Chain A
Amino acid sequence: MGKIKVSEQQKYKHLFKKRPLYKRILSSWLSYLFIAPILIIFIWWWVIPFITSLGLSFCRYDIFNPPKFVGLKNFKTVFTNPVFWVAMKNTAIYTGVTVSIGVTLSLSLAVLLDQKIRFRNFFRTVYFLPSVTSAIAISVVWRWIYSPNKYGLLNYFLSFAKIKPLNWLGELNLILPSVMMMAIWGGIGYGMVIFLAGLQGISNSLYEAAEIDGANAFKRFWHITLPLLRPTTLFIVVWSIINGFQVFEQMYIMVRSIESIGGPLNAGLVVVAHLYEQGFERLRMGYASAVAYVLFAVIFTITIINFTLLKPKD
């Protein structure tokens, strides 16, 4: 940006002089009117709760009695509560596995469906379909697939390989993998579509030039497609990790039992489910707010690391 010469600045001074705020708002009142609905919703449902919960995280609050300031006690409880760490571990495993496998699969699918194959649009639609279906509906259907008796769909197919029926959502070491499998299936379509859009942006001439230079398909993918998809990959990785850490609905439907929100012995407990249980079932609003802020800090840190590592090179 070039600087404006001092003399010119003097000349156009009246343009740079700020008019009072209210005048500026009044002069463009119609514009503000148009953005008002979303702004009000945003402030009411996001900004205010965001600030309130920050305040509450330093208080003891059970909804009925006024909040009582307790300093950093809630955060201390969060870090010393073994249940929180179980939830954090499960969430980290869930995010790590679903994001790494999910992003790889989305990219592979996108590259495959970018070729000129028959029924290309049909396949694209099929893979994208789960992304427009409600997580609740998907979870309910998958519960049936994972049904523990021999009539469960998955167990039924396994019976052809003489595998005894497995208790997918009841065995401690099967609960997380079962939900992760569903989450990956449900998530790859969205990643695929974004990657496909990214692929459209890569000029064909690059591939042609590489081909002339004797680069094989793998080399073309490695040296052209992957580097040029960097901004797309960054977006998808960041988006998936944030979503992974905030996972709730699937877990709530799939693993919640009459005994506990996280399934047997908390084998499927994730951070948001822990937060929900503590806040809305045990009415420990202060503690739940502290959990929310710890989760926020974790996601924030990981996102910054992602941006540093995956930032497109100039």
Chain B
Amino acid sequence: MKRLIIFLIAIMLITGMTLVGIAEEKVTVTYWHTMGDTEEAALNKVIEMFEEQYANIKIKPTRMAYDDFKPALLIGIAGGVVPDTARLDIIWVPELAEIGALVALDEKMEGFDEIIANTYPGPTSTNFWKGHYYGLPQNTCTQILVWNKQMFEEAGLSGPPETIDEFVEDAAMFSNPDEEIYGYAMGGTYFWAPASIFYAMGGEVTDSGITTATGYINGEKSVAAYQALVDMYRDESLSPLLLGGGGIGVFEGLATGKYAMIIEGPWAQPILNSDYPDFEVNFALVPRGPDVTTSSVVGGENVVIFEGSQNKDEAMLWAKFLLSEESQLTMGEAGTMPTLSTVQGNERLPEYYDVFMEQLKTAKARVPHPKWAEMDNAINNAYQYMLRDEKTVQQALDDAAEEINRLIIEG
């Protein structure tokens, strides 16, 4: 008898707990991103606000390393294990849309048109591929000049260079390779690194219809841009860091007086503030090239929803929430530039965004193409060949043009 009672109580307890469980069962929406520490803290605030508003949804964020992110996604897509949502580098959207991994939001998301009516057209367009929008622009960015004011003052210079010629001249003046001091440093040879100088000098990768690279990546202006950088490297006014030498990172070098100038995105401010609290961060526009119609490079990230998601409806709510004014401002305070035009000039946003907004007016987007990663690689190889003196600038870019044409034809 005693046993029976215990058994019955146990049954009741289990049933009761299960019922409570069902009643409170939450839908978990997974969200992958590549944010830094400051951004992640802001993201947690946004998640808190979201979960307060939608009590039945739980957001589970996962921070990934940028280098491993795309391979991890591709393997996940192949194996059918994908997050519900992710914040992707804008240049990956065409590639993932092409393989059918992303939900076409203009078809499936309610109120999509109203949302993008309030976003900047540039970042929004990076979600467009073959007639559909596959994401929402979560944040935008560009690269601008970050300079070490103390070094400039000690050298008797009144301010940062305004033209490419002044930039080259100033960089040469600062450089003292024996002391590992360089006028300018970039972090690598991948296209993003020299892209600001490349576009400022009127460089182009392909024609606007993406039909050929001949006469563009190996055109006169593109060659001149890379020639300028190669010359700076030869003169030792550009740090060997871009070929992995020296080992002092761009932020570290800038803040410790090893590099007078770097070209970086808005995340420079929070990173420098937290790692070098005493360092005064100063931004300026990328030096103007002879052609002033374009400058710098457009970056940023889009929030997308994966076709493999089991919680598409909840994921859409989350994506929309990320585009709300409150989340855009919260993230904006942490160095992530908003894409919502309605929050422009809001007092909660840091003042230094003004320079970035100014730069964005003429900043150019990279080639929106599923094969961009391979095109980037072709240009990167060309840059390596010229820096290592294996090919002339013209030769290297001629070969890159041929490679990019092949990628365009393959489609």
Tell me the residues in window 240-268 of chain A with beta carbons closer than 8 Å to chain B beta carbons.
257-260, 264-265
A260 with B377: CB separation less than 8 A: yes
DSSP class of A's interface residues: helix, strand, loop or mixed?
loop
Residues of chain A lying within 8 A (CB to CB) of residue B380:
259-260
B246, B247, B248, B380, most chain A CB atoms within 10 A: B247
Residues of chain B lying within 8 A (CB to CB) of residue A148:
244-247
Say yes or no: is A74 at the interface (Cβ < 8 Å to chain B). Answer: no
**Whole-angstrom distance from the CB of A93 to the nearest CB of chain B?**
19
**Whole-angstrom distance from the CB of B188 to the nearest CB of chain A?**
6
- Known contacts A62-B99, A265-B385; A280/B75 CB under 8 A: yes
A64 with B384: CB separation less than 8 A: no
B74 with A259: CB separation less than 8 A: no
Q: How far is the CA of A259 from the CA of B243 in the complex (A)?
A: 11
**Whole-angstrom distance from the CB of B411 to the nearest CB of chain A?**
12
Tell me the residues in window 272-293 of chain A with beta carbons closer than 8 Å to chain B beta carbons.
280-283
B247 with A259: CB separation less than 8 A: no
Say yes or no: is B121 at the interface (Cβ < 8 Å to chain A). Answer: no
Say yes or no: is A91 at the interface (Cβ < 8 Å to chain B). Answer: no
**Whole-angstrom distance from the CB of B76 to the nearest CB of chain A?**
11
Residues of chain B lying within 8 A (CB to CB) of residue A216:
none
Say yes or no: is A102 at the interface (Cβ < 8 Å to chain B). Answer: no
Residues of chain B lying within 8 A (CB to CB) of residue A281:
70-71, 74
B74 with A280: CB separation less than 8 A: yes
Pick from B71, B75, B190: contact of A258, CB under 8 Å: B190
Chain A: residues with Cβ within 8 Å of the partner, total of 22
- Known contacts A62-B99, A280-B75, A281-B71; A259/B190 CB under 8 A: yes
Residues of chain A lying within 8 A (CB to CB) of residue B385:
265
Residues of chain B lying within 8 A (CB to CB) of residue A257:
188, 244
Residues of chain B lying within 8 A (CB to CB) of residue A147:
247
A258 with B188: CB separation less than 8 A: yes
Q: How far is the CA of A148 from the CA of B385 in the complex (A)?
A: 20
B247 with A264: CB separation less than 8 A: no
Say yes or no: is B409 at the interface (Cβ < 8 Å to chain A). Answer: no
Chain A residue nearest to B377 in the complex (CB) = A260
Contact with A along B361-399 (1 / 0, CB 8 A): 000000000000010010011001100101000000000
**Whole-angstrom distance from the CB of A269 to the nearest CB of chain B?**
12
**Whole-angstrom distance from the CB of B245 to the nearest CB of chain A?**
4
**Whole-angstrom distance from the CB of B233 to the nearest CB of chain A?**
14
A63, A149, A151, A283, most chain B CB atoms within 10 A: A63
Say yes or no: is A167 at the interface (Cβ < 8 Å to chain B). Answer: yes
Say yes or no: is B172 at the interface (Cβ < 8 Å to chain A). Answer: no
Residues of chain B lying within 8 A (CB to CB) of residue A151:
247
Chain A residue nearest to B388 in the complex (CB) = A172
Chain A residue nearest to B75 in the complex (CB) = A280
Say yes or no: is B67 at the interface (Cβ < 8 Å to chain A). Answer: yes
Q: How far is the CA of A283 from the CA of B74 in the complex (A)?
A: 8
Say yes or no: is A170 at the interface (Cβ < 8 Å to chain B). Answer: yes
Chain B residue nearest to A264 in the complex (CB) = B384
Chain B residue nearest to A152 in the complex (CB) = B247
Residues of chain B lying within 8 A (CB to CB) of residue A282:
374
Q: How far is the CA of A148 from the CA of B143 in the complex (A)?
A: 27
Say yes or no: is A103 at the interface (Cβ < 8 Å to chain B). Answer: no
Chain B residue nearest to A281 in the complex (CB) = B71
Say yes or no: is A169 at the interface (Cβ < 8 Å to chain B). Answer: yes
Q: How far is the CA of A280 from the CA of B66 in the complex (A)?
A: 16
Q: How far is the CA of A127 from the CA of B243 in the complex (A)?
A: 35
A149 with B248: CB separation less than 8 A: yes
Residues of chain A lying within 8 A (CB to CB) of residue B75:
280
A265 with B247: CB separation less than 8 A: no
Chain A residue nearest to B243 in the complex (CB) = A170
A63 with B244: CB separation less than 8 A: no
**Whole-angstrom distance from the CB of A250 to the nearest CB of chain B?**
17
- Known contacts A149-B246, A170-B244; A259/B189 CB under 8 A: yes
Residue pairs across A and B with Cβ atoms less than 8 A apart, 15 shown, are A63-B99, A151-B247, A167-B243, A167-B245, A257-B188, A258-B67, A258-B190, A259-B188, A259-B189, A259-B384, A264-B189, A264-B384, A264-B388, A265-B388, A283-B99
Nearest first, the 4 A-B pairs at minimum CB distance are A170-B244, A149-B247, A63-B78, A167-B245
Q: A259-B380, A280-B74, A282-B374 are in contact. List 11 more A-B contacts (CB 8 A).
A: A63-B99, A64-B99, A148-B247, A149-B248, A167-B245, A170-B245, A172-B388, A257-B244, A259-B377, A265-B381, A283-B99
